[in-house]
Amino acid sequence: MKEYGTQTGTLRKVMHYLKRYWFLMALSILFAGLTVATTLYIPILVGRAIDLIIGPGAVDFAGIVRILKEGCVIILATALLQWLMNMINNKITYQVVRDVRNEAFEKIQALPLRYLDQHPSGEVVSRIIADVDQFADGLLMGFTQFFTGVATILGTLVFMLTINVWITLLVVVLTPLSLFVAKFIATHTYDMFRLQSETRAEQTGLIDEMIGSQKVVQAFAMEERIQEQFDEIDRRLEKCSLKAIFYSSLTNPGTRFVNNVVYACVALAGALAAIGGVITVGGLSTFLSYANQYTKPFNDISSVVTELQNSLACAARIFELIEEPSQVPDAADAEELKDAAGQVELEHVYFSYVKEKPLIEDLNLSVKPGQRIAIVGPTGCGKTTLINLLMRFYDVDEGSIRMDGKDIRHLTRKSLRSAYGMVLQDTWLKSGTIRENILMGKPDATEEEMIRAAKEAHADSFIRRLPAGYDTVIQEDGGSLSQGQKQLLCISRVMLCLPPVLILDEATSSIDTRTEIRIQKAFQRMMEGRTSFVVAHRLSTIRESDVILVMKDGHIIEQGNHEELLRKNGFYAKLYNSQNL
């Protein structure tokens, strides 16, 4: 079992983060000790005041006033120390939470695409947002109760021993019973809270998916079925949450019952001792106060068991994400790809997303610099997978891919990917201005270069009609922009950086025919002297390609230019003729 799969392992990971703030931890412990010391001094003052009230007409009012003044100073000092301790605890907690979130987000940047393909984005978001918040709440509560509780237990033991050893031993022998009760229940609630956290992540994933696909859901009238799916998850979340909270809520009443029994035994033993003259009435009052304060930390700790168990379960899920294997790092001797010519070779390439389902088998391809390569074939034949392998989003299972004669696994990912320019069917825009989205391709470009790229992509005209032109702010999904306009922005991005190798995967699928003809002409100019891979379903757009690869079931079954493939009268000819009847 992985380390984060157990409570002990999770606690060990939490302590690893806390060690970075040992100085603040030491201050918190110091202030906790001082707070407890001043708090425990109050019962002594109360006991002295009681002993000064001997009887009618024999009350030492002057002594009582002095004790009251001293008590006021002690109470103010206690409040100040407690405030400082809480400030430090908050600082430690939220610095740890910041570190955990930073590491989790950094891990997302380094995770292989395979992980992100297999896990819903909503679940990953739930871990970084909701689970970290739950972890923070439990950690803060744990700090507040733990340091103060330990100091209170040790302090009251010392003070009680100075008053009466035998009654103190009675308290020490009976009190641990409440710990056994709390531990028994806590052990059985951890798994319930972990299930609650996992179910909540599943619900978050469904909500995220439905918000992003609302148009599709409504278009196919799937609202009721999705509602049923949500209700089913919601019912499971309700059941596991109620079960976890119910069992954990037994802890506090159980420990309170044991502690009240202890208090009653101490009161009885103390009363008998006072009658026998072993202890004064004021001393008995002080001792009972200490006995109550001694058991109080056990009650406090048991009262936050629910929060602590939930916190540990959430922390385990966060650490599970943080400790996921990152993508294979660049080799130690990886080279920088400079001035790429665009010569690409694939030799005996094998690849599959799932080992049991082979996709690409023994794929061989040689592309000369400046060639235009079109890739066609039925859905699922491996066209987009080939692009993913070229960009090294995935590594081949067997064989090799070389760029300019160098195995791409021996090149740095950054330099390799900077040699490619991609325009995909699925557009990606970030939250920000139009200008920021275009400049992503070349951040140091001038205003004139950016505008020229937008004009070549036929995006400048619609951009200028926007409320703030190039400074118009859009959201991640493009906001009110049409799918075609979003694709034009992505094309502008590539037009700006003009890399040596181009990848166009249905790059004009959402653009009207008139604009497409113009952009195709711009692409023709852009492709001159550049190696280009074009994935297309409309075969009329790739007739001018130097080489057309026809893929089926992960294999290249035909290869040649448009005229050669038509003369073969094979699979490509059937595809072409079916589109031009």
Q: Residue 303 pLDDT > 70, yes or no?
A: no
Model pLDDT for residues 469-498, shown as the tens digit of each residue = 889 888 877 777 887 788 888 888 888 888
Model pLDDT for residues 406-447, shown as the tens digit of each residue = 888 888 888 888 888 888 777 788 888 889 988 987 888 889
DSSP conformational letter for 54: -
Question: Quick one: pLDDT band at residue 556, thresholds 50, 70, 90?
Answer: confident
Model pLDDT for residues 207-242, shown as the tens digit of each residue = 877 877 777 777 778 888 888 888 998 888 888 888
d(CA 239, CA 278): 56
Residues 280, 271: contact at Cβ < 8 Å? no
Residues 416, 337: contact at Cβ < 8 Å? yes
The alpha-helical segments, DSSP class H, found in 473-512 are: 483-497
- Residue 328 is predicted with a pLDDT of 79
109 burial via Cβ count (<10 Å: 0-12, 13-18, 19+): exposed
- Between the CA of residue 460 and those of 197, 438, 454, 468, 510, what are the distances in Å? 48, 11, 5, 13, 17
CA 274 to chain CA mean position, Å = 61
DSSP per position, 109-169 = HHS-HHHHHHS-HHHHHHIIIIIHHHHHHHHHHHHHHHHHHHHHHHHHHHHHHHH-HHHHH
Q: Residue 137 pLDDT > 80, yes or no?
A: no
Model pLDDT for residues 513-539, shown as the tens digit of each residue = 777 777 777 777 777 778 888 887 777
Residues 277, 193: contact at Cβ < 8 Å? no
Geometric angle at alpha carbon 321, from 315 and 326, rounded to 5° = 150
Model pLDDT for residues 371-385, shown as the tens digit of each residue = 888 888 887 777 888
414 burial via Cβ count (<10 Å: 0-12, 13-18, 19+): exposed
d(CA 580, CA 375): 19
Please give the average per-residue pLDDT across 439-458, as a whole number. Answer: 87
How much is the mean pLDDT over the chain?
80
Question: Who wins on pLDDT, 276 or 530?
Answer: 530
Query: 92-106, 123-137, 280-294, 327-341 — which one is most confidently predicted on average?
Result: 92-106
Structure tokens at 333: 């001797």
Q: What structural domains and CATH numbers belong to the chain?
A: 3-194+249-322 (1.20.1560.10), 331-419+538-581 (3.40.50.300)
Radius of gyration of the chain (CA): 35
420 closest CA partner among 434, 435, 403, 407: 403
Which residues, in sequence order, are CB contacts of 568 under 8 Å at separation 6+?
Answer: 558, 560
- Residue 188 is predicted with a pLDDT of 66
Question: Quick one: pLDDT band at residue 3, thresholds 50, 70, 90?
Answer: very low
- Residue 54 is predicted with a pLDDT of 62
Residues 324, 124: contact at Cβ < 8 Å? no
Which residues, in sequence order, are CB contacts of 122 under 8 Å at separation 6+?
Answer: 201, 204, 205, 206, 207, 208, 209
User: Would you say how long the chain is, in residues?
Assistant: 581
d(CA 143, CA 12): 15
Whole-prediction pTM: 0.64
CA atoms within 13 A on the CB side of 497: 24
Q: What percent of the chain has pLDDT over 90?
A: 1
- Residue 1 is predicted with a pLDDT of 40
Alpha carbon dihedral 241, 247, 252, 258, in 10-degree steps, equals 180
Reading phi first (left if > 0) and then psi (alpha if -120 to 50, else beta), residue 420 is in: beta
The alpha-helical segments, DSSP class H, found in 250-280 are: 251-275
Query: 59-63, 125-129, 162-166, 276-280 — which one is most confidently predicted on average?
Result: 125-129
Cβ neighbours around 223 below 10 Å, total:
12
